[in-house]
Amino acid sequence: MKIFACVILLFVSAVSWETDRTLEGSVGGAVDILCKYLTDPESVFLTKMNLSKNVTIIESTQKDQTVIRGRISLYHDSANRFITVAIKNLSREDAGIYRCGTTNYDGNPSYTKINLKVKHAPPTSKSQLTTGSTSAHSTPTGKCRKYISSQHPYR
């Protein structure tokens, strides 16, 4: 009986992979959210909590293709079992709790919970803009912290 209970526990933990992550970006910058999954999904999605309910931001049933919706793109890499969501030109309104995940063929979702924080872009000095110099820490559009997939085609 103990072996059966352990097998059930392992199965449940393999299907439900919700974890919490925090990601930071700056106004005007961009973030890439990389979410791995375990089983072949029917669809992949990004939702945002809005007044205690989830609102679908972008969703796709297509594999190995990029779906674009305004400033947001979603790429589903089925061979490597991950989803990359890119959000460009961040605004303070983009801050919040997101769910990046999959829905299986029975309609059951699995997701990673992401707390996206968007801060004001750091001030850029006039000399940096006129000389065109940039660094990894300061760009004309602000800082960008990413979870990057090198295979993501939308950049």
Query: Given this model, what pLDDT does residue 53 score?
Result: 87
Number of domains comprising the chain: 1
Three-state secondary structure string covering 32-54: EEEEECCCCCCEEEEEEEECCEE
Q: Which CATH number do you get for residue 80? A: 2.60.40.10
Domain span holding position 66: 17-121
Q: Is residue 12 part of a domain?
A: no
Query: Given this model, what pLDDT does residue 123 score?
Result: 59
Tokens encoding 1: 């009986």
Query: Given this model, what pLDDT does residue 124 score?
Result: 58
Task: Using alpha carbons, select from 24, 19, 18 the residue that is nearest to residue 116.
Answer: 24
Element (H, E) at 10: helix 2-15
Task: Using alpha carbons, select from 155, 33, 147, 151 the residue that is nearest to residue 101.
Answer: 33
Q: Is residue 35 part of a domain?
A: yes
Q: Is residue 25 part of a domain?
A: yes
pLDDT in single tens digits along all 155 residues of the chain? 444 333 333 333 233 445 588 999 999 999 999 999 999 999 999 999 988 788 999 999 999 999 999 999 999 999 999 999 999 999 999 999 999 999 999 999 999 999 999 998 765 544 333 323 223 333 333 333 344 333 344 43
Q: Is residue 141 part of a domain?
A: no
Q: Is residue 8 part of a domain?
A: no
Q: Is residue 110 part of a domain?
A: yes
pTM for the structure as a whole: 0.67
